[in-house]
Structures are given as C-alpha cells and as structure tokens.
Structure 1
Amino acid sequence: MKPHVWLGSLVLSVAAITLGGCSSTPAAQALPTYEQAASHPFIKANREALQQLVAGLSPADASPMLVATIVDVNDLRVSSPLGRTLSEQYSSAAAAAGVDVREMKLRGDVFVREQTGELLLSRELKDIARTHQARAVLVGTYSVAGQFVYVSIKLVRTESGQILRGYDYALPMDREVQRLVRKPTGDY
C-alpha cells in the first residue's frame, strides 16, 4: 500500500470517528415505568382534590352524583383534554369513596358536543339531574396562567343550586399539563 493512500485512509477513519461523536441526535430518555405512572403527581393531586371536596359529607348527601366536564373559565362552552381528564378522574375518585356516580355518557339525552365532551350548563342542570335522579353535580372550571393551571371545583345540590362544598387547587404547567390544555385542532 502506498504511503499517501495509507495516510488518506487513516485521516478519513479518524475524521469519521471524530465526527460521529458530534451527532445532533439527543440522548435517549428512559421511558416511564408502571410504578411511576401509578404514583404520578397529576393523578394524586386530582384524587386529593376530590377527597377534600367530599370530606365530611356522607355518601348519601352527594349521591347520586353527576360529574360535569371541567371547562375553561374564559369560555364556559369550551373544554380540552385537561377538562375531560379531570372529570374522569373525579368520577373515579368519587366512586372509590363510595359515592354513587351516574355516568352521563351512557345516556342519549345529554348534550354532548364533538371534541368538547359533555358540558353541563346551569340552565340545563335541573332537567339533566332530574333525568338522572342526581342529588348533586360536581362542576368546575380551570384557568391557564403562566406557570400553573388553577382549578376550582364545586359540589352543587341539584334541587336548590346550593353550593355544598368547594375546593381550589393548582396544577404545575409541566409538559404533560401543557399538552392537555391545548384546544382540539383535529390532529387527534
């Protein structure tokens, strides 16, 4: 082998090895585990909120209960994946606490809008509650701010509109919550 061919091969090999270390591909992140998912702070915060809301109430005082979709405080006609996820988690936590939760999605006479979930508006409250024989409805709003999403939930007696309980809390605006507050764009 001629010296200049050998030297050229050596230079190319060193360049390939050196440039290979300059890859712009980010290091792979470890995927979450089932243990991490089971103890996720988002789920814990929402369960705690429901527990605080019904603390001291007998299940009979809140049963049967409907859970409305949690909506954006700036537009009560709009929800998001966050609002629907919160509602689902409140329903699960209430049922686990012994409250008789009625599933509205199984009924055909509830107003359900495409991409927004079931929105329970105050003027419809009594009719829907009567149809489902509900004594209470969990309603709520969320408000997106800079670093937090502020959530307010209330347990309302269906017959009188009396607020039985209320609870406010904040969720950090982490990547997960940012994805959930996005408005539907048809990309789903």
Structure 2
Amino acid sequence: MATPGSKAQRPYRRLAIAATLLAMLGLAGCSTFGNTSPPEAPKPDLSALAHQAAQQMVTNNPELTRYSPMIAATFVSIDNLSQSSTFGRISSEIMASALAQQGMQVREVKMRDSMFIEENVGELILSRQVQRLSSQHNARSILMGTYAQGQDYLYVSTRVVRAGDAMVLGSADFQLPLDNNLRSLLEGQTGW
C-alpha cells in the first residue's frame, strides 16, 4: 500500500497538479475574453450627420422639395454672423448635396457673378440680403446654418427658409466630437 508522498503516487500527483494548472489557465483565458469591452462605435462623421439631417428635414416636411430651387449660404459662426471658416464652407456644401439627394433642386451660385463671394469667407447671407439674393437667383428657398464651438463638441444648426418671407421650412441640429480634424477646419475663421 502506498503512503502519501510515496513514489507510486507521485506521477498521479504531478498529473493532478498539471491538470489543475491547465484548468486555471483555461479559466483565466476565458475571463480575459469575457471581460473585453465591445468595440468602440465609430465617431459620427459630418457627411453622415448631414445626410441624416437632410432626411429628417424632408421627413418632417414632405413639401420642402416644392420650394426648389434652393441656394446654399455658407454656414457661419453663431458668435459672429459675418464670420465663417473652412468648416462653414464645407458643411454648407455637404448639406446642400444631402438635400439634393433628397429631391431638392439646388442652384449652384458660385458659377454666377451676381452673388458677392469674398475669398476665404464664402457665400455669407445675412437676413437683410435674403430677398435680394433669392430674386437674383430665382430661388424659392435658402439653406442657412450656424455652428458653435464648445470644449468637446461642435454644434451645428441648419435650416431651409422660404425666400419670400424667411419662414423656416425645415431644420435640423447635430453635434460633432471636437477633434484635431475639426479644429483644423475651424482655424483661421475669417469675416468680411
């Protein structure tokens, strides 16, 4: 009869220790896989948010496309309505494109001489100019927008207004996480 610790039991003890170690390693591996957090959702993108905003505008007012053609104004800083940036220009372009894909007829005004376009600013439209510019371009509506830079987010408000009386026909708001890319688009804001 073998006594505890005898030579006859040593191979079984080693086998039991090895099996226990393997089981512990297996459980540790499972716990590592089980505790992984889900992959981070992709950050919202300006183009995707603009397309969602355009769809929301048309969904909320299916008659919106009847107010074509539309001209697009450069989006401006909420803190200074005569100031814009690369972000203001590209966000206006993307939003106009998104509305065109929703069925809105968009008149390209950069091809015409009659709209004042200041280099590095874009097509700024203040309320006093709405009537004059819309009649010059035979537009029934105007895309306008403002943006505000916070510490962590950039807030964008966009709307389509009726040219005749500046009544809002559709609006949408969204926010973008403020990262280095957006900061770069906001740098060097210029005005007239």
| TM-score computed with the length of structure 1 as normaliser | 0.73
Question: Which residue of 53, 56, 68 maps to 1:49?
Answer: 53
Paired with 2:89 and 2:109, the residues of 1 have a C-alpha distance of 13
Equivalent AA in structure 2 for residue 43 of structure 1: S
Structure 1 segments (4+ residues) deviating >3 Å: none
The yes-or-no answer on 1:165 pairing with 2:170 is: yes
Paired with 1:153 and 1:60, the residues of 2 have a C-alpha distance of 16
Question: Which residue of 169, 179, 184 maps to 1:174?
Answer: 179
Paired with 1:171 and 1:51, the residues of 2 have a C-alpha distance of 18
Q: Deviations over 1:15-61 (max 9, x none)?
A: xxxxxxxxxxxxxxxxxxxxxxxx97221112111221222323542
1:110-129 superposed matches below 5 A:
110-129=115-134
Aligned residues of 2:83 and 2:189 also touching (Cα < 8 A)? no
* Structure 2 gaps, min length 5: 1-42
Larger Rg: 2
Aligned length: 147
The yes-or-no answer on 1:148 pairing with 2:148 is: no
Paired with 1:184 and 1:41, the residues of 2 have a C-alpha distance of 21
Q: Deviations over 1:137-166 (max 9, x none)?
A: 111100000000111111111111111122
Equivalent AA in structure 2 for residue 53 of structure 1: M
What RMSD, in angstroms, separates the aligned Cα atoms of the two structures? 1.8
Paired with 2:65 and 2:173, the residues of 1 have a C-alpha distance of 23
Residue number in structure 2 paired with 1:20: none
Residue number in structure 2 paired with 1:22: none
* C-alpha distance 59-163 of structure 1, shift in aligned 2 (>3 A): closer
* Structure 1 gaps, min length 5: 1-38
Matched-pair identity in %: 36
Equivalent AA in structure 1 for residue 45 of structure 2: P
Aligned residues of 2:67 and 2:140 also touching (Cα < 8 A)? yes
Paired with 2:102 and 2:65, the residues of 1 have a C-alpha distance of 11
Aligned residues of 1:59 and 1:98 also touching (Cα < 8 A)? no
Equivalent AA in structure 2 for residue 175 of structure 1: N
Aligned residues of 1:59 and 1:100 also touching (Cα < 8 A)? no
Paired with 1:101 and 1:120, the residues of 2 have a C-alpha distance of 16
